[in-house]
Amino acid sequence: MFIAITVKQGDISKDIRIDSEQKIGVCLKVLREAGKIPNGESPTYFRSGQCEKLVSAYKTFQDEGIYDGDVLTVIG
Protein backbone atom coordinates (compact mmCIF):
# COMPACT_ATOMS: atom_id res chain seq x y z
CA MET A 1 0.00 0.00 0.00
CA PHE A 2 1.29 3.46 -0.83
CA ILE A 3 1.11 6.29 1.68
CA ALA A 4 1.62 10.05 1.34
CA ILE A 5 3.72 11.62 4.09
CA THR A 6 5.86 14.68 4.74
CA VAL A 7 9.53 14.39 5.71
CA LYS A 8 11.05 17.37 7.52
CA GLN A 9 14.72 18.01 8.05
CA GLY A 10 15.56 21.42 9.48
CA ASP A 11 13.81 24.05 7.35
CA ILE A 12 13.26 21.64 4.45
CA SER A 13 9.97 19.82 4.08
CA LYS A 14 9.25 17.27 1.31
CA ASP A 15 5.95 15.58 0.52
CA ILE A 16 6.45 12.05 -0.75
CA ARG A 17 4.41 9.03 -1.73
CA ILE A 18 6.04 5.78 -0.70
CA ASP A 19 5.37 2.07 -0.27
CA SER A 20 4.47 1.45 3.38
CA GLU A 21 6.56 -1.74 3.35
CA GLN A 22 9.79 0.15 2.59
CA LYS A 23 12.27 0.83 5.39
CA ILE A 24 12.25 4.42 6.58
CA GLY A 25 16.05 4.78 6.34
CA VAL A 26 16.08 3.56 2.72
CA CYS A 27 13.50 6.20 1.82
CA LEU A 28 15.72 8.95 3.25
CA LYS A 29 18.78 7.58 1.47
CA VAL A 30 16.96 7.82 -1.88
CA LEU A 31 15.85 11.40 -1.13
CA ARG A 32 19.46 12.34 -0.28
CA GLU A 33 20.85 10.75 -3.43
CA ALA A 34 18.23 12.61 -5.50
CA GLY A 35 19.27 15.91 -3.89
CA LYS A 36 15.85 16.46 -2.32
CA ILE A 37 17.20 16.81 1.24
CA PRO A 38 20.64 17.90 2.44
CA ASN A 39 23.47 15.42 2.68
CA GLY A 40 24.75 14.53 6.10
CA GLU A 41 24.73 11.67 8.51
CA SER A 42 22.00 9.11 8.06
CA PRO A 43 19.43 9.70 10.80
CA THR A 44 18.57 6.83 13.10
CA TYR A 45 15.36 8.23 14.57
CA PHE A 46 12.44 10.37 13.51
CA ARG A 47 9.48 11.86 15.35
CA SER A 48 6.04 10.95 14.03
CA GLY A 49 3.55 13.81 14.12
CA GLN A 50 0.47 11.58 14.21
CA CYS A 51 1.72 8.95 16.66
CA GLU A 52 3.77 11.43 18.69
CA LYS A 53 6.53 8.89 19.18
CA LEU A 54 10.06 8.14 18.04
CA VAL A 55 10.32 5.84 15.05
CA SER A 56 13.36 3.87 13.92
CA ALA A 57 14.95 4.26 10.49
CA TYR A 58 15.57 0.50 10.49
CA LYS A 59 11.89 -0.45 10.45
CA THR A 60 9.26 -0.10 7.77
CA PHE A 61 6.59 2.60 7.74
CA GLN A 62 4.00 -0.11 8.33
CA ASP A 63 5.92 -1.59 11.28
CA GLU A 64 6.06 1.82 12.95
CA GLY A 65 2.38 2.63 12.31
CA ILE A 66 3.05 5.47 9.86
CA TYR A 67 0.05 6.19 7.64
CA ASP A 68 -1.24 8.81 5.18
CA GLY A 69 -0.77 12.39 6.25
CA ASP A 70 1.91 11.77 8.87
CA VAL A 71 4.85 14.14 9.26
CA LEU A 72 8.24 12.58 10.05
CA THR A 73 10.81 14.96 11.49
CA VAL A 74 14.48 13.97 11.42
CA ILE A 75 15.88 14.16 14.95
CA GLY A 76 19.16 12.25 14.79
Domains contained in the chain, number = 1
Residues 22-72: pLDDT tens digits? 999 888 888 788 887 766 667 788 899 998 999 999 999 999 999 999 999
Indicate the pTM of the whole model: 0.84
Q: Say which CATH number the domain at 64 has.
A: 3.10.20.90
Number of residues in the chain: 76
Q: Is 10 left (phi over 0), alpha (psi -120 to 50) or beta?
A: left
21 band by pLDDT with thresholds 50, 70 and 90: very high
Do residues 42 and 56 touch, judged by C-beta distance below 8 A?
Answer: no
The range of the structural domain enclosing residue 35 comes to 2-74
Q: How far from 56 is each of 35, 68, CA to CA, in Å?
A: 22, 18
